[in-house]
Amino acid sequence: MTKNIYFASDFHLGAPDHLESRKREDRIVRWLNAIEDSCSELFLMGDIFDFWFEYKKVVPKGFIRLQGKLAAMSDAGIRIYFFKGNHDMWVNDYFTLEMGMQVVSDELVIERNGKRFFLHHGDGLGPGDEKYKLLRKVFRNPVCQWLFSLVPPRIGLGIANGWSMNSKRKSKKEVFMGADREWLAIYANERLAESHYDYFIFGHRHLPLDLELSGGARYVNLGEWMNYSSYAVFDGSNLTLNYFEELS
């Protein structure tokens, strides 16, 4: 393996408003420009969009610079994976047809250079959050998705945008709960009891983390791009958590 693998999540494009989102999108494209020469695979691990719903013939406006950049990278031979997040699970074939991205619905286990990775956005895993786990079943239900698709975009996207305004809350920084209480670390340790993994990489938590798990495995949380511009890179032997354009 001569090139790097990059992981990022939780861009939440669209939130909190057009101007802020555009500034973030520009930063993300600068990041992609900076990494593309060294990148063999790119894992976009959920909540890339603050809201996405794909109708049969209609997709949400905006985010065109990111989409153009991803299309160009994919055309240049970089493999790109798009994980469904809790904000953007309603994808169909648009990302695959237009940007060559492979859509991942739940977890993806990969092996690269002898290292085993467990990858997932992170929503609905570990103890607690029963209300969301129930909601997730409804949101992911094909019949419910079909029913929503019957609502005209003017109304459907209006409802959704009002809804995702809740995610303004999301721009505040999350607080570390301690290694024994971080639920994705608890979840990862449960998986480790069944099988060997070197790395667990999740998003969703909105807090960049690099925690040691049992048996020397690690849990890396990708953070988010409202406050941190954090991402992970695997260079073939090491996995590191980095910050793009870090303010000094």
Which residues lie near Mn ion (CB under 5 A)? 10, 47
Residue in the shown chain whose Cβ atom is closest to Mn ion: 47
Reduced to 3 states (helix: H, G, I; strand: E, B; else coil), residue 66 is helix
Give the angle subtended at the CA of 234 by the CAs of 225 and 201, to the nearest 5°.
55
For Mn ion, the closer of residues 47 and 198 by Cβ is: 47
Can you tell me the distance from the alpha carbon of 241 to that of 7, in angstroms, rounded to the nearest whole number?
Answer: 9
* Shortest distance, position 146 Cβ to Mn ion, whole Å: 25
Bridge partners, residue 116, by sequence: 111
Reduced to 3 states (helix: H, G, I; strand: E, B; else coil), residue 176 is coil
* Shortest distance, position 33 Cβ to Mn ion, whole Å: 24
User: For residue 95, what is the DSSP state?
Assistant: H
Residues with Cβ within 8 Å of 177's Cβ and at least 6 positions away in sequence, in order, are: none
* Shortest distance, position 11 Cβ to Mn ion, whole Å: 9
* Shortest distance, position 25 Cβ to Mn ion, whole Å: 16
For Mn ion, the closer of residues 47 and 182 by Cβ is: 47
